[in-house]
Amino acid sequence: MRLPKPNLILAFSVVLMATTSGIALADDAKPFAGQTVSVLLPSPQDANMAADFENATGIKLDLQTASWDDVSVKISTALLAGTAPADVTEFDWSWTGQFAAADWYTPLNDTVDAATLDDIKGSTIFNVNGKVLAIPYTNDFRVMLVNKKQFADAGVTVMPRTLDELVAAAKAVKAKGIVKYPIGLPLSATEGASTSWYLLTKAFGGDLFDKDMKPLFTAPDSAGYKAMAFEMMLLKEGLVDPASTGLKDSEINETLFAKGLTSIMISGEPGRLGAYNDPAQSVVAGQVQAIPVATESGKTRSFGLLEGLGIPRNAQNPEAAKEFIKWMTSKDYQIHNYANGVLPTRTSALAELQQQGKLVSGEALVEQAPTVEALFPSGAPAWYPQFSLAVNTSINSAAKGEITVEQAVQRIAEAAAEAVKQ
Amino acid sequence: MVLPILLTMGGLVFYPLLSTAWDSLHRVNPMQAGTPFVGISNYTRVFSDVEVGQAWLNTFKYVVIAVFAETVLGVLAASLINQLKSGRQWVLAAVVLPWALPGVVSGVIWQWIYSPGPGLLNGLLVMIGLDYEGHLWFNDSTSAMLAVSVVHIWRMLPLTIVIVLAAMQSIPGDLYEAARIDGASRLVMFRNITLPLTRGAIAVAMTNATVSAFNLFDEAIVLARNSLETRPILLQIYLEAFKKLNFSYGMALSLMVTFISLAISLGYVLRIHRSTRLD
Amino acid sequence: MKEPRHIRLGIWAGVALLLAWSLLPIYWTLASSVTPTVEFNARPLHLFPEHPTGEHYLRLLGVLDGHMGGVDVAGEFRLALFNSILTSSAATVLCVLMSLLAAYAFARLNFPGRQVLFYAVVGTMAVPGYAVLIPLFRLMVSLRQIDAYLGVTLIYVSAFLPLCLWLLKGVMDTLPQSLEEAARMDGASHMRILFSIIAPIAAPGLTAAAILTFLGAWGQYVVPLVFSPKNTKPLTVLIPEFAGKNFVDYGLIMAGGSIAIAVPCLLVIFLNRYLISGLLAGSTK
């Protein structure tokens, strides 16, 4: 498993490395030496980031970190208040529409070259009307995470490629009594429930909206409808823990999957694998791996939840901020930062990690990477937070049996219509 | 001397209150330019909004459950404590304790008690031989509503007890003495002396209970997050304003809550006032 | 006159039930905070921790490594504890001082609009805080007071001023004017009279007002959730976050909760008399 098969490397190189160009990290001149740049990112970050950055550019780094939720609140309150939260901040994919509508961020078109944008394919989702508002630095696309030891114990040797095989594997694990609820799926009224449904909608071969932002998930034969019905079926069959109606995705990750209490994370984050396979912090080390998202047809699909770096309009030191973004999204740093659980956004960096055999579950990631789509091809709309709230609220109600799948998709469609109208 | 208080209240209460009323008639959304006048559409929108409707319904349920339980249990508990000859102070201190704790911390404490695996509630029920191992209290709308209400009642009951108890203590002892000589039973004395003379206090306690049940937020968000089945109107307002950024819609909703809770409270006071006058 | 035995028994049983209802959740919090994590799922339930441990507290206070999922929990907790103490105390001092001044003026001085102003201020007790939340947010934004100690403290003060004013004016109305008249004859200023004569006599009332304000500010959640997102975040906002971040650690949550409830518990135990009198004055509007 450690070394990829030659043909994979070949396919990988063709698909991903074709676009790679040499990334020359600035020249030796350090025009901004002695200045300071403030940066606000979710924790954790590399402990030596400040020293490394100063060595490379001569710029002092004032790094503030907090949990993603805190960072999100801090950024939006500061921006609503008309101040810059920092010179460089986290810029989540889901904020794109809101932030673009409010014109809160400086376009970065001149900051990075075309080759870089090409190497970082995900940057298109931060591109609004030709303005690149952020550069992705962490590649949180979704895969499925499975506990292969539990699969093996249940006699499942071939990794599932279709949803039917996935359900069969889960049933086998449950039948053997290895775990009580083999599938981890958040069903609470939180963001994780929304993103899992989006992923399953893709897995059923569909999309959320058409080009005119008309909902595509209300008809019973639509992918979104089938995805939600699938979630309810998993719950009813006892494959998903009924307590999931009160659990966030991070809780399911940490208290169930990482503890060996569930075998499959439907919407898994590949970045977490490093920590889960570290015997020092995990009881499932060596047991877990990523597989490409199983789909109805067997042809895998996924989508990216990229996090980027952006510069707020009234940042105090925008020039140094640009240097920071260039540095943090450079190929060298991305390869270095993988050790901290940050999956590179550059296909060239991914390829190099894979060639060196450093990528955990590299094969799966390599297979998944080219299939990653944007959830909203033209960027997250301004009303995304409102839409997402309706999605997870309705899924939560349906999972508790308060409303039917039909009512749930109907409510989501109504909320989407209401949101678009405003 | 009154300047500091007037400045603070004027700046932080009266000005924002007027501003709320004004903005609720406009469209205010930081994502959209301009604040056009929209008349009362922020108010009429309430009637077609499923989520808001559900949140209103939940809030009314909370009010009914909480006011009923707090009044009945509060009067009962107050008369119990009133019978104590010694240690009354200590019992009272223990009883007041839940009220003094931060609402969210009570929520967190009860979340732990309700939790399916290691929770105290399921543990105790299993201990007495019931099949509640791993029972989920929040997967059914009725039991989830009740679970949230219990936490709210736990926190607010002390206030009712204290108010009613004070009224009971001020009833002259010779009234009971006279009744006892007439051979009245405890129940008769409670109905004919205690209740009529504490009516005013009960009305005050019910008013407090109503207003605080309309303000329920901490318990619901901690115990059941954004779940629609338990979402009170105040959580809906919070989500409208700070998640969806519909500032003016949120303001219209908050004014409606203010008026309705005031109107209901006033209703009790008038009713009780009238019935005491008839006596 | 002796009461019949069965009635006394009934009363004591009722009181025992009442005490269990009030105290059991608090006891369970304390018990859980010293229970080792591995024993949380033990069945049958242990009502008393079998192997008490201080581990959760040590991690919370940073004696043991307080990092969880890359987050410096111990550091955050210390900051939040400090923030809670600072904002609650500052709000209490400001609120009591301002309402003492105003109560004196409303009770003793004659100025136009006295009645109207008094009832206008006290009347805001009936206005729920969230009715002004959004404009307040925009106001604080324009004053650059989001995530600032001054902003959130002033909001607490404005929330508890009416109650304190009502309470202290009630106290002053009951004090005989004769006490001050002698001082006034001697030419003492209003301030002098207020602080050297009235304040000491009104001490119980001041204490009651202070406890109510402190407890109220200590328990605030919605206001700091909006106005104190990070650097001024209090315990009430931090503790629920323990359950929802990259880790779930109930031992830590219960230890944090125990510390957050210790302060109100101590106030209730030692100052219950004042608290009850304050509650009564405050609720019988």
Q: Tell me if A378 is assigned to some domain.
A: no
CATH of domain C71-237+268-283: 1.10.3720.10
- The DSSP symbol for A294 reads P
Do C246 and A67 lie within an 8 Å CB cutoff? yes
Q: Which residue of A has its CA nearest to C229?
A: A74
Give the neighbor-by-neighbor strand order of the sheet with A307-310. A60-66, A36-42, A88-92, A307-310, A135-138
Residues A253 and A393 in one domain: yes
8 Å CB contact between A99 and A105: yes
Taking one residue from B and the other from C, the number of pairs with CB-CB distance under 8 angstroms is 258
Which residue, of A373, A393, A413, is where some domain finishes?
A373
**Could you say which DSSP state residue A215 is in?**
B
> Side-chain half-sphere of A42: how many Cα atoms within 13 Å?
20
**A231 and A104 in one domain?**
no
User: What is the least distance, in Å, from the CA of A258 to any CA of chain C?
Assistant: 11
Instruction: Give the residue range(s) of CATH 1.10.3720.10 domains in chain C.
Output: 71-237+268-283
pTM, two decimal places: 0.84
**Is A123 inside a domain boundary?**
yes
SS3 category, C72:
strand
* CA dihedral (B64, B69, B72, B75) positive or negative: negative
Cβ B225–A385 below 8 Å, yes or no? no
C160–B contact, CB cutoff 8 A: no
- Six token digits for residue C186: 């001697």
Average model confidence (pLDDT) across chain B? 87
Instruction: Please list the helix, strand and coil fractions of chain B in percent, rounded to the nearest 5, in that order.
Output: 75, 0, 20
> Is residue C126 scored above 90 in pLDDT?
no
Task: Report, as an integer, the average pLDDT of B145-150.
Answer: 96
What's the rounded mean pLDDT across residues B85-90?
Answer: 85
The reply to whether residue A70 touches residue C146, judged by beta carbons under 8 angstroms, is no
| For B224, nearest residue in chain A (alpha carbons) | A246
Whether residue A44 lies inside any domain: the answer is: yes
Q: Pull the structure tokens for residue C274.
A: 């004042």
Q: Which residues of A149-166 are buried (b: 16+ CB within 10 A; e: fewer)?
A: bbbebbebeebbbbbeeb
Architecture in CATH for domain B49-278: Orthogonal Bundle (1.10)
- Output phi, psi for C45, to 5 deg: -55, 135
Mean pLDDT of C233-261: 80
Mean of pLDDT over chain C: 84
Q: Rounded CA gap, B197 and B79, in Å?
A: 13
Return phi, psi of residue A127, to 5°: -95, 110
Chain A contact partners (≥3 CB pairs within 8 A): B, C
8 Å CB contact between C260 and C77: no
Tally of residues, chain C: 285
Q: What are the extents of the domains in chain B?
A: 49-278
Q: How far apart are the first and last CA of chain C?
A: 38
Looking at chain C, which residue has its C-alpha nearest residue A73? C229
| A179 and A136 within one domain | no
Q: How far apart are CA B205 and CA C279, in angstroms?
A: 11
Same domain, A25 and A88: yes
Q: Which strands form A183-184's sheet, in the order they lie side by side?
A: A183-184, A264-268, A143-147, A288-291
Question: Which residues of B lie inside 8 Å of A (Cβ-Cβ)?
Answer: 29-32, 50-51, 116, 134, 136, 138-141, 224-229, 239, 243-246
Say which range, B145-154, B230-239, C47-56, C262-271, has the weakest mean pLDDT: C47-56
Per-residue pLDDT at A19: 35
Given this model, what pLDDT does residue C66 score? 61
A341: left (phi over 0), alpha (psi -120 to 50) or beta: left
Compare all CA atoms of chain B with the CA of A72 and give the residue at the minimum distance. B243
Could you read off the pLDDT of B90-127 as tens digits, one per residue? 898 999 999 999 999 999 999 989 988 778 999 899 88
Q: b/e per residue, A51-61, with b = 16+ CB within 10 A? A: ebbbebbbbbb
Q: What confidence tier does C7 reach under pLDDT thresholds 50, 70, 90?
A: confident
**Is the Cβ of A150 closer than 8 Å to some Cβ of chain B?**
no
Are A240 and A389 part of one and the same domain?
yes
What is the distance, to the nearest Å, from the Cα of residue C58 to the centroid of all Cα atoms in its chain? 26
Distances from the Cα of A26 to the Cα of A111, A121, A325, A345, B100, angstroms: 12, 21, 12, 19, 60
Residues A359-379, buried b or exposed e (16+ Cβ, 10 A)?
A: bbbbbbbbbbbebbebbbeeb
Residue of C nearest to B246 (CA): C134
Nearest to C285 by CA among B216, B70, B207: B207
Domain membership of residue A414 as a residue range = 143-303+383-421
Q: Give C36-45 pLDDT, tens digit per residue.
A: 877 776 667 7
Distance CA A331, CA B48 (A): 52
> Of B228, B246, B248, which to mutate for an interface test with A (greatest number of A Cβ within 10 Å)?
B228
Residue of A99, A400, A420 to mutate, testing the B interface (most B Cβ within 10 Å of its Cβ)? A400
> Chain C contacts of B210, Cβ < 8 Å?
none
Interatomic CA distance for residues A150 and B271, integer angstroms: 67
Pairwise pLDDT comparison (B124 vs B30), residue with the higher score = B124
Least trusted range by pLDDT, from A38-47, C28-37, C114-123: A38-47
Residue A188: list chain B partners with CB under 8 A. 225, 227
Average pLDDT over residues C254-281: 87
Nearest to A77 among C142, C229, C247 (CB): C229
B116 interaction partners in chain A (CB closer than 8 Å): 243
CA distance A249 to chain C (A): 9
Predicted local confidence at residue C43, as pLDDT = 66
Tell me if residue A239 falls in helix, strand or coil.
coil
Q: Is-contact C136 C155, C-beta < 8 A? A: yes
Within an 8 Å CB–CB cutoff, is residue A300 touching chain B? no
Nearest to A389 among B50, B229, B239 (CB): B239
Q: Which comes out higher in pLDDT, residue A412 or B270?
A: A412
Dist CA C246 CA A251 (whole Å): 7
pLDDT value at residue B239: 86
Inter-chain CB proximity B217 and C22 less than 8 Å: no
Q: Looking at chain B, which subunits does it touch, using at least 3 CB pairs closer than 8 Å as the criterion? A: A, C
Using N-to-C axis directions, what is the helix angle for C149-174 and C203-218, rounded to 10°?
150
Residue B275 has pLDDT above 80, yes or no: no
With H, G, I as helix, E, B as strand and everything else as coil, classify residue A186: coil
Neighbours of A339 (CB within 10 A): 10
Cβ contact (<8 Å) for B228 and A392? no
Beta-carbon neighbour count of residue B146 at 10 Å? 15
The amino acid at residue B237 is I
Residue A278 parent element (H or E): none
- Is the domain of A212 the same as that of A278? yes
The two three-digit tokens of residue C92, written as one number: 């209490």
Rg for chain A, CA atoms, rounded: 21
Report the residue from B127, B208, B254 with minimal CB separation from C44: B127
- The pair of structure tokens assigned to C37 is 């994590």
Query: Which residue ranges in chain A fall short of pLDDT 50?
Result: 1-27
Considering its fold, how many domains does chain A have in total?
2
CA-nearest residue to C37 within chain B is B118
* A383 to chain B: closest CA residue: B244
What's the burial of C170, exposed, middle or buried (CB within 10 Å: 0-12/13-18/19+)?
middle
- A349 and A286 within one domain: no
Q: Which residues are within 8 A (CB) of C92 and not within 5 positions of it... i.e. 6 or more apart?
A: C210, C213, C214, C217
A113: β partners: none
> Are residue A133 and residue A206 in the same domain, yes or no?
no
